[in-house]
Chain A
Amino acid sequence: GENVEQHPSTLSVQEGDSAVIKCTYSDSASNYFPWYKQELGKGPQLIIDIRSNVGEKKDQRIAVTLNKTAKHFSLHITETQPEDSAVYFCATNMDSNYQLIWGAGTKLIIKP
Chain B
Amino acid sequence: DSGVTQTPKHLITATGQRVTLRCSPRSGDLSVYWYQQSLDQGLQFLIQYYNGEERAKGNILERFSAQQFPDLHSELNLSSLELGDSALYFCASSVFGGGTGELFFGEGSRLTVL
Nearest CB in chain A: distance from B19 CB, A: 19
A99 to B99, CA, bound (A): 6
Is the CB–CB distance between A43 and B42 below 8 Å? no
Whether, in the assembled complex, A61 has its beta carbon less than 8 Å from a beta carbon of chain B, the answer is no
Is the CB of A18 closer than 8 A to any CB of chain B? no
Residue in B41, B50, B102, B106 whose beta carbon sits within 8 Å of that of A43 in the complex? B106
Segment 17-48 of A: residues with Cβ below 8 Å from B: 31-32, 34, 36, 41-46
Q: Is the CB of B100 within 8 A of A51?
A: yes
- B99 contacts which of A36, A44, A97, A105 (Cβ < 8 Å)? A97
B residues 89-108 with Cβ under 8 Å of A? Answer: 90, 92, 97-100, 102-103, 105-108
Residue numbers in A under 8 Å from B14 (CB-CB):
none
Interface residues on B, range: 20 to 34
Interface majority SS (helix, strand, loop, mixed), chain B: loop
B2 within 8 A of partner (CB): yes
Chain A minimum-CB-distance residue to B110: A41
> B43 interface residue, CB < 8 Å from A?
yes
Q: B16-48 vs A: 1/0 string, CB under 8 Å? A: 000000000000000000000000011101001
B105 A44 Cβ-Cβ under 8 A: yes
Q: Is the CB of A98 within 8 A of B42?
A: no
- The answer to whether B99 and A94 have CB atoms under 8 Å apart is yes
Name the residue on B nearest A42 (C-beta).
B107
